[in-house]
Homo-oligomer: A and B are copies of this chain.
């Protein structure tokens, strides 16, 4: 054998990695299974042993990506801690996503596919509620008297809108990725606005 011996888990992983790169570069339709298996160093038969179709391979990857996103968005209210600081923490949770090239590149492609064919990612999409964790934090902060919020859901969405408007969507439309420092400034601006609106 020419190559280093790999066990079957590695092979599957290699295929997923190759597919990730190819899908990110070309999108679902223009991605070529031939190129994927070439990148992965696997034969066609092997690819189709692990994944019954291009579509299944794609969905497997997207589910994985969705989990990465969800894992980065976990925050919870800490009573007694300065509420402004906690809003900044919420912003930083989003910022972790917006400043990661790998995540954002994948997001760009994923977004394109969602728009083109919602069915392709429908089930996956419904498994994650981005705003739930933020909404919960704001609700608890309001109950605690730290903020005055009639509609926590709306407030959470407003906050996320501000951050996405500054960092997420511009990148989607071709702007360069924002740095951590720029992101900190953006978080500050957005938190200011939230405090002006909802500060107790």
Contacts and interface: CB of A to CB of B under 8 A. Distances in A.
A176 to B, nearest CB: 13
Contacts of A4: none
Contact of A115 (B111, B158, B162, B165): B111
Contacts of A173: 114, 125
Interface residues on A, range: 20 to 34
Contacts of A43: none
A166 B192 CA distance: 20
16 contacts: A27-B116, A29-B29, A111-B111, A111-B115, A112-B113, A114-B174, A116-B116, A125-B173, A158-B162, A161-B161, A161-B164, A161-B169, A169-B169, A193-B196, A193-B197, A196-B197
A118 to B, nearest CB: 5
Interface of A: 27, 29-30, 108-109, 111-116, 118, 122, 125, 154, 157-158, 160-162, 164-166, 169, 172-174, 189, 192-193, 196-197
Contacts of A197: 192-193, 196-197
Given A112-B112, A115-B111, A166 B161 contact: yes
Nearest to A151: B189
